[in-house]
Structure 1
Amino acid sequence: MVNLKRHTNIAFGYFLLIGLLGILLRLFFVTPIAANYRWVVHTHSHIALLGWVYIGLTTLIYKLYFTEANKGTLYRRIFWFSNITIMGMLVTFPFQGYALFSIIFSSLFLVSSYFFAWFVLKHTPVVYRGTYSFKCIKAALWYMIFSSIGPWALGAIMVTLGKTSMWYKMAIYYYLHFQYNAWFILVLLGVLFFLLDKAELTPEKKDFRNFFLLINSGIILTFFLSVLWVEPHAVYYILAAAGAVLQVLAFYKLYLMLKKVWQKFKISSSAFVGFLLKICGVLIAVKILMQLLTAVPYFADLSFLYTDFVIGYLHWVFLGMVSIALFAFFHHFRLMKLPKPVFSLYFTGFVLSEALIFYKGTSMWLGLPFFSEYFPLLVLVSSLILVSVGILLIKNIRS
């Protein structure tokens, strides 16, 4: 039997590491650090996406479909292969950045993710294949595969055009778009529909079909938001705006579906899980609003000129929407226990750090006063996230 609680603790271990790396990055602006800032950024981002989130999502997928499927041996091999590649990135990126060994481990991780996608698509029991949950997760896996075109292209771009080429950034934005807006979100939605199905609250077929069409159309078209910084032809602005509107319609449709069954769902799950998912709903709404704004040329240029807005957006999705949804689902499946005071500490750190990041971007944009204690304060509030994750990990290991 696969010990999924141990796998959850491993994911939290990665979360703790990225918290430490995040504090280190912010200390660069407070005191001299004997390290390469850019290389630490690479480590931080890779372990965040491929350690905490990837391991967390794949653990949930196994929990949904394979607990009784007798596929533990094969899954464990893929799981540990993935972790070896992640650890390889952890010990190479800080000391060489993008170079031979870090690229080898990054490439091997992509191969391991293909094995995982194959595992799920091939071995998911027939009883789940027609569910709304599996439709979302199947689409998520394909988007994960599509997103990997970006990293594969980086090598060729670096050799032929160099890091200063716009195509270098395009490849990174392509990867991040289909990770953040497709792979992450659709897996989490798949888990949500699984819980609705188990509670016998499955939405109407027509409602789900419309939602699924809207969200996938929106995912594809909102990629064009990532190209507006090069000021392309007007047609790209139209496509990007259409994608942003489709995302609004998709999540409004989801809201209407959930509104019909929410009270019964809270009873079948728990009031605390329902509360966490409500927070995620608010965070998604703000995320969609930000995407909608960046379809406007003025705000598209703004997000390119002031990178704090981009960093704030990425953290909003990663530390907010995705991480809190993972907390909720891990808690629901009893893969971890989430004490309310610890979550309050985490959420306080998240809100305050986001406020500071967006304040910095706004102050540069509007010429507002910028206080000298900004960076020490950012380190302090970010430490709340680190401490809360550390407490969660220790509590779950002990239990």
Structure 2
Amino acid sequence: MDLRKHIATALLYFLLVALMGVLLRFFFVTPISLNYKYILHAHSHTALLGWIYLGLTTLIYKIFLSEAKKPKLYKRIFLFTNLCIVGMLVTFPIQGYALYSIIFSTLFLFASYWFAWFAMKYIPHYFKQRFSWKLIKTALWYLVISSIGPWAIGGVMATLGPESIWYKSSIYFYLHFQYNGWFLIALLSVLFYVFEEKGIHFNSEKLKSFFLLLNFGVILTVFLSFLWFVPPTVIYILGLAGAVAQLLAFFELYSLLKNHFSVLRTEFGPACFFLLKFAGALLALKILMQVFSAFPYIANLAFRLKDFVIGYLHMVFLGIVIMAMLAFLEYFKLIKLSKSFLWIFFFAFISTELLIFYKAFALWLGLPFFAEYYWLLAILSFAFPLAVGILFFRNIKSSYLSA
């Protein structure tokens, strides 16, 4: 089974996500006879569940499950998952959250449960004692836990309505455990797997400390997602405790890895090592932002100025998750990264992030704002589908034509 074809499918979703992102930016500069929220739903669902989810699950299969000798079962899971993704991709732009899009979204939850069950049942026994597998298993449980959010949305819509605080809270609950739990911990697992394969052993007590702090952080920082409606003080305290736990976990991780960065530099090469360093630096920034967001003034600021939240989420997904995932996909020979893709993608990411955060700071601090802002943001956003298009067509050529 050629897993490069599976990644080529994921890259196609990535390209569609990038194109929808440009379309969303043009809503602010010219009349478009489409529903903005519907396109936004399609954009976010395809990004998280099409591109990132398929990228991570393919990596997990490649590393941990390819020797389980269950390719037909995995292929069925892959095909069912794609049926759900295509269903969401077609229905969300047409109807938003409605009957058919909810059906496909619900089916996707079952697809994710199916994959989690498959991974935990068929993992070869010699992986079970590895720290990397401990992290993957934890990430998969957070994937399952995150699904409580979508299940709750249905009940909230039926009883309290979309104006209820529990509607947004259910969405934020889902997003939190997706990127803080499932995405980031799965990527950390791949990182530790690389070290394990190179015969590098870490202090077991330090690994245990890191693991506990990491999980305390993931669980408690979910309370940061509820600060937007000014909850009781105890929620702020719990959120701050989680942010501090994440900060301590990051320091523990750095102390574990600092003497082994030369291994990553040698193994990954200059370009992919830079991707990992860049993602790591943004991870440190993300954790610091979470610490500050536990304080009422900053939490209220983020709620009032949505550009802070948009910039933060794009930083997490585009800057941390996707850049680290691209480095790992290249390392395991599932994709080929070109210099042209990397230069254009970095230009797109940095330029648009600077603009998004500038707008947020301008509104907050009363800085000068220029009339051409939305046009400039929309035009710069074209660099994303250009970069992803280069990546997609280069890899579709190598994965299909060389087969």
Q: Same fold (TM over 0.5)?
A: yes
In 1, are the aligned partners of 2:67 and 2:124 still within 8 Å (CA)? no
Q: Where do residues 380-399 of structure 1 align in structure 2 (5 Å cutoff)? A: 380-399=379-398
Q: Where do residues 338-357 of structure 1 align in structure 2 (5 Å cutoff)? A: 338-357=337-356
In 1, are the aligned partners of 2:345 and 2:387 still within 8 Å (CA)? yes
The residue aligned with 1:62 is 61
The residue aligned with 1:280 is 279
Find the aligned partners of 1:395 and 1:274 in 2 and give their Cα distance: 21
- What's the TM-score once normalised by structure 2's chain length? 0.97
Deviation at 1:202, TM superposition (A): 2.9
Structure 2 counterpart of 1:385, one-letter code = F
The residue aligned with 2:319 is 320
The residue aligned with 2:4 is 5
Say yes or no: does 1:184 pair with 2:183: yes
SS state of the match for residue 337, structure 1? coil
What 5-or-longer segments of structure 2 have no aligned partner?
A: 399-403
Aligned length: 398
Structure 2 counterpart of 1:50, one-letter code = L
Structure 2 counterpart of 1:260, one-letter code = N
In 2, are the aligned partners of 1:193 and 1:202 still within 8 Å (CA)? no
SS state of the match for residue 337, structure 2? coil
Find the aligned partners of 2:339 and 2:203 in 1 and give their Cα distance: 34
Find the aligned partners of 1:49 and 1:188 in 2 and give their Cα distance: 14
Which has the higher mean CA deviation after the structures are superposed, 231-240 or 264-273? 264-273
Deviation at 1:174, TM superposition (A): 0.3
The residue aligned with 2:197 is 198
SS state of the match for residue 66, structure 2? coil
Q: Where do residues 242-261 of structure 1 align in structure 2 (5 Å cutoff)? A: 242-261=241-260
SS state of the match for residue 162, structure 1? coil
Say yes or no: does 1:216 pair with 2:191: no
Say yes or no: does 1:225 pair with 2:224: yes
SS state of the match for residue 59, structure 2? helix
Find the aligned partners of 1:268 and 1:92 in 2 and give their Cα distance: 43
What 5-or-longer segments of structure 1 have no aligned partner?
A: none
Find the aligned partners of 1:265 and 1:310 in 2 and give their Cα distance: 32
Find the aligned partners of 1:272 and 1:305 in 2 and give their Cα distance: 38
Deviation at 1:265, TM superposition (A): 3.2
Deviation at 1:267, TM superposition (A): 2.0
The residue aligned with 1:375 is 374
Find the aligned partners of 1:354 and 1:213 in 2 and give their Cα distance: 32
The residue aligned with 1:82 is 81
The residue aligned with 1:125 is 124
Find the aligned partners of 1:132 and 1:382 in 2 and give their Cα distance: 39
Structure 2 counterpart of 1:321, one-letter code = I
In 2, are the aligned partners of 1:199 and 1:268 still within 8 Å (CA)? no
The residue aligned with 1:165 is 164
In 2, are the aligned partners of 1:345 and 1:385 still within 8 Å (CA)? yes
Say yes or no: does 1:264 pair with 2:263: yes
In 1, are the aligned partners of 2:340 and 2:387 still within 8 Å (CA)? no
Structure 2 counterpart of 1:337, one-letter code = K
Q: Where do residues 14-53 of structure 1 align in structure 2 (5 Å cutoff)? A: 14-53=13-52
Which has the higher mean CA deviation after the structures are superposed, 109-118 or 224-233? 224-233
Deviation at 1:232, TM superposition (A): 1.5
Find the aligned partners of 1:268 and 1:202 in 2 and give their Cα distance: 17
Structure 2 counterpart of 1:307, one-letter code = K
Find the aligned partners of 2:320 and 2:145 in 1 and give their Cα distance: 22
SS state of the match for residue 44, structure 2? helix
Find the aligned partners of 1:96 and 1:331 in 2 and give their Cα distance: 37
Deviation at 1:340, TM superposition (A): 2.3
SS state of the match for residue 68, structure 1? helix
Q: CA RMSD in A?
A: 0.9
Q: Percent identity?
A: 54
Deviation at 1:364, TM superposition (A): 1.4
Deviation at 1:113, TM superposition (A): 0.4
Structure 1 counterpart of 2:85, one-letter code = I
